[in-house]
Amino acid sequence: MNMFLGRELTTGPLRRLDRRRMIAETETVLHELDVRIPSARAIIRELSGGQRQGVAIARATHWAAKLILMDEPTAALGVAETSKVESIILGLKARGLPILMISHNLDQVFRLSDRICVLKARSADQRAPDAKRRQERDRLDGHRPEQPGRTCLNRLAKPCRCA
């Protein structure tokens, strides 16, 4: 298991790997997050995409004390695997861990988030799309004409300025 990759636990004066403790801690973290894998000794390349992502999230929660950053956590996963990863994220949320998630899937963002900030990266010389495309884009990302650039939406869809 690569939960301790680069941070291996050691024991004794010769600093031998403490495999038993690493396996026990790995099983504890995976059980807390309800990540189902065959064994804590399983080889990562033999796991499904959802299981791999679950292990990555477990590793992040084990080492991250203040914030968990997820960049497109379900981008390359199937429907069942995405559902499992979303349930893990909701479990972390229930435990009170702060999560910053970057995603292009707005339905998923609304399901999993307490607060949402939509960021647009456009260069000054880029041409604006025609009116119809602009209206559709604005409808999808919550843009308010009186607030160009960045717009935040909380769960109640009240606009606010993000700093």
| Tens digit of each residue's pLDDT (9 = 90 or more) over 42-88 | 888 898 888 888 888 888 888 877 888 889 888 888 888 888 889 88
Judge whether 66 and 7 are in contact, CB under 8 Å. Answer: no
pLDDT at position 125: 38
What is the dihedral sign for C-alpha 98, 72, 134, 155? negative
Q: What is the mean pLDDT of the chain?
A: 77
Domains belonging to the chain, first-starting first, are: 1-113 (3.40.50.300), 116-163 (no CATH)
Q: What three-state secondary structure class fits 153?
A: strand
pLDDT at position 106: 85
Work out the angle at residue 48's Cα, subtended by the Cα atoms of residues 43 and 50, and round it to the nearest 5 degrees.
115
- pTM attached to this predicted model: 0.60
Work out the angle at residue 128's Cα, subtended by the Cα atoms of residues 107 and 161, and round it to the nearest 5 degrees.
55
Separation of alpha carbons 34 and 83, rounded Å? 13
pLDDT at position 134: 64
The string of DSSP codes covering 90-126 is HHHHHTT--EEEE-S-HHHHHHH-SEEEE-----TTS
pLDDT at position 130: 61
**Which residue has 């790995």 as its token pair?**
26
- Of residues 12 and 145, more confidence is placed in 12
Interval 3-35: pLDDT, tens: 888 888 899 899 999 999 999 998 998 888 888
Residues contacting residue 84 through CB under 8 Å, at least 6 positions apart: 50, 54
Residue 105, pLDDT > 70, answer yes
